[in-house]
Amino acid sequence: MAARTDVRPVPSDAAGASDGAPLTCVHRSSNGRVQHDLSTDELRALVQRGEGTFWIDLDVSDPAQAAVLTDVFHFHPLAVEDALNPVSRVKVDEYPEFLVIIARVVGFAEHTPDPYDLDTANLAIFVTPNAVVTAHTQWSPVLRQLADRLRGNPDMLGRGPARVAHQALDIAIDAYFPLLDQLDEFVDDLEQRVFGNFDEQLLQEIFQVKRLVISLRRYLAPQREVLSQLTNRPSRFLPVDAQLYFRDVYDHMLRITDALDSYRDLMSSTLDSYLTQVSNRLGKVSKGLAVVGALSVPFVVIAGVYGMNFEQIPLSRHPYGFEIMVGIQFVLAAVLLVYMRWKKMI
């Protein structure tokens, strides 16, 4: 049966919702009727009846929306504390009435002069027998994509809350792929510049990109453990068929991890190549200085001899003595230069 939709005005930005404003929500009843963006009282009535399946997003930086977690859903205070804390550790906890997942969303920071800066935000996902509640302190494009998916295909709610939670994590993990594409451009650009014209600023950029790779790896590692638990640990909130979908997200994470490991190795190789070029340039400079020093030896020796305070010095009274000595100096320098080239010293 086709779903009937009761569409209410959608707020321009869920993060800007205030007390009394409709909450970002998609509800699908058992008969296929769909409602969007309910008030707190309407939401409370739905929760009490336990009818249908719904998703709701809460901006917990707004005290009115944060209160929904305790006043409407009656989540455990420890779980609510994790949701309100923007730097909570990534984890998964199961309570008798619900499952809570703390994930971290990562993206490039906007409005910053450093193109390598990252912006991170925690996303709490509460899974109950008939609802999924996402809670955040900082708005993320992941939530907009999730809202668009559920509004475009509300029947997804009919597959159960676990599948909605899977969609949220799938979008959050897939958000790493655009980062990898941008990272690939950074690495290619650095490699071309290292083997092209030498740039003294490269060392700083190499370390910045390497730090970026390490940061992404650090943010991803704890989420790998969370997805491993969601995939393998039995839970009454995650049916076996739903865990198969989490396994697909876990596979995506493994691909991202492998890519980050490859980029880390590439940056190490790029750094080695840069340092080798620096060493080669330093060697060339030292070699040039050594050649100049060697060619100056005949001039220094002859000038030193003729600078001694003796009366009888060859050619000292010759009318062309100075020119002859200078000529001898240049001849000796030329002979020394030819010898060094013959020995392939230069």
Domain ranges of the chain: 4-276, 296-342
pLDDT score for 82: 93
The whole-model pTM stands at: 0.76
Class for domain 4-276, per CATH? alpha beta
pLDDT score for 1: 39
pLDDT score for 270: 87
Instruction: Using only the alpha carbons of the chain, give its radius of gyration.
Output: 35
pLDDT score for 76: 94
Residues of the chain with pLDDT under 50: 1-19
Report d(CA 158, CA 124) in Å as an integer: 22
pLDDT score for 6: 43
Task: Determine phi and psi for 57, rounding to 5 degrees.
Answer: -115, 135
Report d(CA 129, CA 131) in Å as an integer: 6
pLDDT score for 343: 74
Contact between 157 and 28 under an 8 Å Cβ cutoff? The reply is yes
pLDDT score for 287: 79
pLDDT score for 14: 38
Alpha carbon 86 to its chain's center: 18
> Whose structure tokens read 């009394």?
20
Class for domain 296-342, per CATH? mainly alpha
pLDDT score for 20: 54
Report d(CA 201, CA 53) in Å as an integer: 55
pLDDT score for 321: 74
Contact between 46 and 56 under an 8 Å Cβ cutoff? The reply is no
pLDDT score for 310: 67
The string of DSSP codes covering 48-82 is HHT-SEEEEEEETTSHHHHHHHHHTS---HHHHHH
Picking from 118, 59, 124, the residue whose alpha carbon sits closest to that of residue 91 is 124
Beta-bridge partner residues of 56: 25, 133
As to burial, measured by CB atoms within 10 angstroms (0-12 exposed, 13-18 middle, 19+ buried), residue 14 is buried
In the chain, the amino acid numbered 249 is V
